[in-house]
Structures are given as C-alpha cells and as structure tokens.
A and B are shown apart, each in its own frame.
Chain A
Amino acid sequence: MYDIEIKNLQVNYGDVVALRDINLKVRHKSFLGIIGPNGGGKTTLFKVILGLIKPLSGTVKVKDNIKIGYVPQSTSFDKSFPILVKDVILMGKLDKTFIAFKRYSQKDKKEAVEVMKKLDIYHLKDRQIGELSGGQLQRVLIGRTLVNNPDVLLLDEPTSSLDSDAKREIFDLLKELNKNKTVLVITHDMEYVFKYIDSLACVNQNIHYHDEDKSITADSLKDVYNCPINLLLQSGAVQKRLGKEGEGLND
C-alpha cells in the first residue's frame, strides 16, 4: 500500500491543461524530489493532493488515516502581516470544527514549544515573521505543520532564495524528518536534491518518475524538455545514479 497513489490524473485551468497523464505512487517513508520548469504544474500537483483543486479526471488516493502536512511557498502570503512566530506555529493547532471562544489549550501550547525547540526557533517566538531570515521562516512554516504530527510532508520550494548553508540545513532537517515521515519536496536545487532524495519526479504537464528500482537515465530526463540535464550531470552525486547514457552525454 502506497501513501499516495495518483492514477491518470488530468487537471485543467479553464482551457489550459496544467497536468495530464499523471501516474505516481509514493512509497511510505520515501523522500521524493519533484523538479521541473516553472509553470510546469508542480504546485498544482500538490494542490490536487491536498484537495484544493479538483481534477478534471483521474484519481488521487491518499492512504486512510494519513495526515498530510503542507509547507507552502513563502511567497504565498504577506510577510509583513502582523503575526508572531508562536502564533504561526499554533495556527496548525486550529480545529476543523469551529467552537466559539475556544482558545488554544495548554497541551497545544506545550506541543508548540516542543516543536519550536526541536527546530531551534524557540528564541524567535515573539518575533514578527517578516523579521526572520529565509531559513528561519522556512523552519517556522515546517513547524506549523509539524505540530499536527503529519505522516506525509509536502514542501513547495522550501529552499528557494536561501543561501547555500541554509539550504543544506533545511535538507538535513528534512532528511531527519524522513526517518519516520514520507517527504515530497518541490525544488530547483539540483546539487542538494540528489544527496538526499531516494526518488525523483520531473513534472512538466506530464510526469517522469524514477523510483529506487529504476535508475535515472539521461534519456528519460532528456524527454522532459527544459529539465536542466546538464546541471544534473555536473552534480557528482548523480553520476552513480546515471547509466551509460549519462556518461556518454557528459563527454
């Protein structure tokens, strides 16, 4: 049984096809990197999994009793909004069903503190979110979903616009979380992604999926126009994953 299973998915925005013929099976505790050009439908794929967008056809099956945690792009909200770090974390604890005058419980608050300590952002708890560095903000967004203890994490470009140290720290954190969680990460950071992931999907309207059992071949990547094949080949980590075709291309 897979954590997430997508079959023959098609998503349209009006007349424009955003995704088509998407088939994807995400194993439990896998670390899936999702790459692809801008506008290729990566975020749309996440939104379908989250149920924010209804597909035109096809099915998205999420295993029963699985909680999905979402870390949106940090450009999806206003960083100058007057909210403090601790309040963002606690937001994850809001109930689906609304009860008037319900405040966060002591248990909620204790769990929020634990998560903040674990992510090393506790000392920032009273800062407004616009006063954080990019890496700190990402930790806050990850913390907001971790308070719910999700089984699957979906992260949309968590490392864009971070410096290389912060990028490595975020990927190290994800690897740590991957010990008992399935992680799906959209990223453009090829040099990091191959050191951490165990499977790769390239999304550009359709999907090219490479799991552990299949090696990534330069041919299959070449099919996906705009995928930065050269960049992939330059990364030492990926060499061993690439077959003969890869070496050939490098020459």
Chain B
Amino acid sequence: MIEALFEYTFLRNAVVSSLIASIVCGIIGTIIVEKKLVSMSGGIAHTSFGGIGLGYLLGFEPIIGGLIFAVIAALSISKIRRETKTKSDTLIGMFWAVGMALGILFISMASGYQPDMTSYLFGDILTVSTTYIKIMFVLGLFIVFIISAAFNYWKAYLFDEEYLKVMGVDVVKLEYLLFILISLSIVILIKVAGIILAIALLTIPPAISKLFTKDLKKIMVLSIIFGIILSFSGLYISYTFNIPSGSTIILVAVTVFLFTSFVKRKIN
C-alpha cells in the first residue's frame, strides 16, 4: 500500500482526509460525548442529506447543500427548543426524518441520471477529490482555531453552563457557535464515513480515550491519536481486502474499543 500511496492521488487524498477527519473527530467528538449531544449530532448529519439532494436537483455541489442544511438544522433545533420548550429529542427526531425525506424527494425529482447515494450514506474515502480535501482543510482549521482560542470557556461551558451564565458570559452565543462547529464536522465526515456512520467516528475515539484519562484536554489529544491509528488501519484493511472503507474503519474502531475496555477491566 505504501508504494501505491506515492503512485495514486486518490490514496493520498484518502490518507490526508482521514487525518483531518481524525483531528476534527477527536475535538468535536469529545465535546458531543461530554455534552450529551450524540443524538443531536445524528440529527444534524441526517438532515444534511436534504441539502445533498437539493444540490443534485439544482445542480450545485451537493456537499455545500449538505453544509447549509446541517447548519440550519443545528441552529433551528437550538432556537425552537429554547423558545417552545419542546424536548430537543423530539425536535431532533423530526429534523432527522424530514431531512432524509427531502433528500430522497429531491433526488427523485432530479432529471435524467439518478446518482448513487451510497457514498454519501456510508462514505467512500477512496473517492475524495482534491477540492473536497481543500474544503475539509479550511473547515478543520476553523474548528481547531475556535476551540483552542477559547478552550477554558468551552471547558467551563461543557461542565457547568449555568455557572458561566451567572458569571455574565453569553452562553447562548457559545451554544450557537458549538452547533455550527458540529455541523461543519459532520460535513467533513460525510465523505469519509458517510451520514449514517459519521456518528461512530465521533463517539468511539473519545470512548476509548476516556478509559485512560479524566482530563478534557487529554481526552481530546488521545482521541485524535486513536482516530488516526484507527482510520489508517481501517483504510489499510479496506484497501487490502477491497471492502468498503467507512464500514471497515468503524468496525475496527468498535473492536478496539471492546478489546480495550475488556483488558482495562481485567487489569483493574
């Protein structure tokens, strides 16, 4: 695979995109696990499918449509929950299904050639284009910058939002910003793992890291490292045996999680 790496652009792109995805997953994944936003993130991911469908229908880059839908979903869920006191779980469920429904509807309305949607649903890391790498890089850089620039605020926000509010910090802005960052991360992950599998890539590395440390920053750093190891080995296995990359990465990750927690329990 190493020789092939130098030979084929698509393999290089695959490696670079899984590197960026791992960094983003380590940071945002830790946040959504600790803030209990896993189902929220699942909802955002599935709503983005509506945007992808719209992109096909109107003939613009589907991933941009997905990005716009994801951001709108995130901000709407947050706003509606605040104003109507509807449980966010209920809202997430609605957005989740409506997004998928719109996606399928838009695609069926698109004239002529019906595109194959599996690469968006399950990811296809070997078809990541150089343009997509550029989008990933910019979004990833933005996420890393926003989180590290205000790390102490994020830590305080995740731990005890109300106290931060008492101290006079604008918590609502932080929440909106966080939801936008989650949307961006999901868009980054769509090509790597797909809408359906993205959530696993966000949650498994932090779950493994939490077995080793109880400090937020260390969990993030470890998650990034685990993410890189897991996605590279998944990529290698998928390339060698010619099996779907997204599923392989996730199955490898879950196996490592189960094995690690089993060993950890034995040791304790």
Q: Which of A50, A77, A84, A103 contacts B215 (CB 8 A)?
A: A84
Contact between chains at A96 and B162 (CB < 8 Å):
no
Contact between chains at B153 and A98 (CB < 8 Å):
yes
Instruction: Given A70-B166, A96-B169, decide whether A82 and B152 contact each other with a Cβ distance below 8 A.
Output: no
Total number of A residues with any Cβ neighbor in B under 8 Å = 28
Q: For the side of the interface on B, what is the size category?
A: 20 to 34
Q: Which residue of B is nearest A129, CB measured? A: B159
Fill in one digit per residue for A85-111: 1 if any B CB lies within 8 Å of its CB, else 0.
001101110101010111110000000
In the docked arrangement, what's the CA distance between A90 and B155, Å? 11
Q: How far is the CB of A107 from chain B (nearest CB, A)?
A: 15
In the docked arrangement, what's the CA distance between A83 and B164, Å? 15
Q: How far is the CB of A39 from chain B (nearest CB, A)?
A: 18
- Which residues 159-212 in B have Cβ within 8 Å of A in the complex? 159-160, 162-169, 210
* A72 on interface, CB distance cutoff 8 Å: yes
Contact between chains at A103 and B152 (CB < 8 Å):
yes
* A1 on interface, CB distance cutoff 8 Å: no
B residues less than 8 Å from A65 (CB atoms)? none
Contact between chains at A87 and B155 (CB < 8 Å):
yes
Contact between chains at A82 and B160 (CB < 8 Å):
no
Contact between chains at B166 and A82 (CB < 8 Å):
no
* B90 on interface, CB distance cutoff 8 Å: no
Q: How far is the CB of A84 from chain B (nearest CB, A)?
A: 6
Instruction: Given A91-B160, A101-B148, decide whether A83 and B155 contact each other with a Cβ distance below 8 A.
Output: yes
Q: Which residue of B is nearest A104, CB measured? A: B152
A residues less than 8 Å from B168 (CB atoms)? 96
In the docked arrangement, what's the CA distance between A73 and B150, Å? 26
A residues less than 8 Å from B156 (CB atoms)? 91, 94
Instruction: Given A81-B158, A128-B214, decide whether A100 and B165 contact each other with a Cβ distance below 8 A.
Output: no
Fill in one digit per residue for A63-80: 1 if any B CB lies within 8 Å of its CB, else 0.
000000010100011100
A residues less than 8 Å from B210 (CB atoms)? 82
Q: How far is the CB of B27 from chain A (nearest CB, A)?
A: 14
B residues less than 8 Å from A102 (CB atoms)? 152
B residues less than 8 Å from A100 (CB atoms)? 149-150
Contact between chains at B215 and A94 (CB < 8 Å):
no
* A52 on interface, CB distance cutoff 8 Å: yes
Contact between chains at B169 and A98 (CB < 8 Å):
yes
A residues less than 8 Å from B162 (CB atoms)? 52, 72, 76-77
Contact between chains at A81 and B34 (CB < 8 Å):
yes
* A139 on interface, CB distance cutoff 8 Å: no
In the docked arrangement, what's the CA distance between A144 and B163, Å? 10
Contact between chains at A72 and B163 (CB < 8 Å):
yes
Contact between chains at A81 and B159 (CB < 8 Å):
yes
- Which residues 172-202 in A have Cβ within 8 Å of B in the complex? none
- Leading 8 A-B pairs by shortest Cβ distance: A128-B214, A96-B168, A100-B149, A77-B160, A91-B156, A82-B216, A82-B214, A70-B166
